Structure 1
């Protein structure tokens, strides 16, 4: 697990196609953050991976470890209890019960138990929901908000973000919020 130092930069890489390499921009102490199934057009290895682990996602999401470093940390959107209590999505009771045993089996099947596992804190999730007024923020926005909340003195850089993808996210609100943060210098594009 990497230590976060005062000069550590967070490089958050979206899943759009790589337009230009940023390899020369990366330093050894920087934290590279990727999502779900990282786009292979960017070959940077992840220090942290944020994964959407909802009921439906774990049935379809494949985890490719080619972009995981040996000491990568994994951050899940939800805990088993979040799903069981239907904290963020309305899920039928029988599916919530299945999830309690299906999720640990999925972790083992995907070999995610080889890494340090974390859950995005509930307060970060709810704060992100409030910021965009939408119940299902993207995994990328959750990661950005998590880093900016937990490490406010470190620089955060975005790369390969296009603000489109799965139709369940409010991409327009997310893009507007990110642009506000870019305008005030909270984030920077590379």
Structure 2
């Protein structure tokens, strides 16, 4: 029996139209607030991996048009990548001036309320999954309060753990491995390259 296809779509620009390949897959994961305006990554969205520790998410939650995003509308499951215990233990806390402006480190409950009210299934990544991800990237000790695995890395790891090689072909597209300075982009890229070399992941180029 032929293997099924899972495609993990990052938010970087694509070099060619992959919409047909993506929409024909049996599972598609995207991240945070996917941009489908270009149409090159298709529309299918089964799961969105989202960071609830970001002030950017809070601004999105306040936006009345946030849930008009086509991918968010289509998504069956919203996975919050950072468990509240992880945010509390490792992620940076706003200073007093930021707190006075209403900024917090954790917007988990607000995300659950806003998106649960529109019928989405909400899941939260277990703390141990985050710790195991840090171990794979060599992030340990005090450095765990300075460097954080990205939603992309955690999403790929989740997919590989849930979808066995015997049944699934996992493909990636739209990853640039750059962005927020607190992610270890170099080691995350090397980790993915190792998965590619071992035949666990393939790239859609």
Within 2, Cα distance between the matches of 1:141 and 1:118? 17
Within 2, Cα distance between the matches of 1:6 and 1:112? 35
* TM-score scaled by length of structure 2: 0.74
Deviations along 1:143-171, one digit per CA (max 9) or x if unpaired, are: 00011112223221001111111111111
Match of 1:13 in 2: 9
> Residue 142 of structure 1 is aligned with which of 142, 145, 154?
154
Which residues in structure 2 correspond to 1:85-96 (within 5 Å)? 86-91=88-93
| Local SS of the residue matching 1:158 | strand
Match of 1:121 in 2: 126
Deviations along 1:26-47, one digit per CA (max 9) or x if unpaired, are: 4656111100011333342311
Q: Residues 51 and 77 of structure 1 are in contact (CA less than 8 Å); yes or no, is this contact kept in structure 2? A: yes
| Local SS of the residue matching 2:7 | strand
> Residue 104 of structure 1 is aligned with which of 109, 127, 130?
109
Within 2, Cα distance between the matches of 1:28 and 1:17? 20
Deviations along 1:48-84, one digit per CA (max 9) or x if unpaired, are: 000011153442345443113546111001334444x
| Local SS of the residue matching 1:157 | strand
Range with greater deviation from structure 2 (13-22 or 34-43)? 34-43
> Residue 80 of structure 2 is aligned with which of 66, 70, 76?
76
Contiguous gaps of at least 5 residues in structure 1: none
Distance 1:10 1:128, change over 3 A: same
Q: CA RMSD in A?
A: 2.8
Q: CA deviation at 1:125?
A: 1.2
* TM-score scaled by length of structure 1: 0.80
Deviations along 1:1-23, one digit per CA (max 9) or x if unpaired, are: xxxx9833210001101211223
Within 2, Cα distance between the matches of 1:79 and 1:67? 23
Which is greater in Rg? Answer: 2
Paired residues, number: 180
Distance 1:160 1:88, change over 3 A: same
Q: Residues 14 and 140 of structure 1 are in contact (CA less than 8 Å); yes or no, is this contact kept in structure 2? A: yes
Q: Residues 36 and 61 of structure 1 are in contact (CA less than 8 Å); yes or no, is this contact kept in structure 2? A: no
